[in-house]
Every structure is written in structure tokens, then in C-alpha cells.
């Protein structure tokens, strides 16, 4: 026996069989959900939210940290290639 909370804040007792028959569960990675999120991001509201979010100080700091890590990684790769060239010549 399971207890399920209804829309009108009433408690309903049900069995597992009744819950299994419920076919309206949509997962976060469902194709329709992904498409809906993409449509929202492309809408005026989504673009405004994205812009406001990217202006937050902690988001800017995180993005800058990723940029610095990218620069360091790129620089290390170039130095490795140059060292390999020197050893082969």
C-alpha cells in the first residue's frame, strides 16, 4: 500500500499496480523535454534569462577560471610539441 498526495492536498491510498499504470511520467532527458528547453532558450525570455545569468559575478568567475585552464592546457601542449621537435632534430 502506498500513500500518494493528490492535487487538492487529499491523501489517496493506492497499490503498486495502480502506480505502474500511470504513463505520464516524463524524464528530464526525454526528447520532447530537450526540444522544449531548446525552444525556451531561443525565445526572448530564454535569451534574457541567459544574459542576466551570465552577468552574475560567480558565473563570470567560473567562466574566467575555465578560460585560464584552457590557456594553460593549450600552452602546455605547444611546449610539449616544441620539446619533441627539438629532441627529434
Q: pLDDT tens digits for 42-80?
A: 999 999 999 999 999 999 999 999 999 999 999 999 888
State yes or no: pLDDT of 2 exceeds 50.
no
Domain range summary for the chain, segments of one domain joined by +? 1-42, 56-89
* pTM listed for this prediction: 0.52
Placement of cell 491510498 in the chain: 13
User: Count of H helices and E strands in the chain?
Assistant: 4, 2
> Whats the size of the chain, residue-wise?
89
CA angle 47, 52, 54 (to 5 degrees): 95
Amino acid at each position: 500500500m502506498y500513500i500518494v498526495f493528490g492535487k487538492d492536498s487529499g491523501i489517496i491510498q493506492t497499490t503498486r499496480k495502480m502506480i505502474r499504470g500511470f504513463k505520464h511520467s516524463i524524464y528530464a532527458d526525454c526528447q520532447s523535454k530537450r526540444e522544449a528547453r531548446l525552444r525556451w532558450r531561443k525565445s526572448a525570455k530564454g535569451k534574457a534569462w541567459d544574459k542576466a545569468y551570465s552577468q552574475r559575478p560567480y558565473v563570470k568567475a567560473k567562466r574566467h577560471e575555465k578560460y585560464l585552464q584552457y590557456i594553460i592546457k593549450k600552452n602546455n601542449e605547444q611546449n610539449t610539441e616544441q620539446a619533441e621537435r627539438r629532441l627529434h632534430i
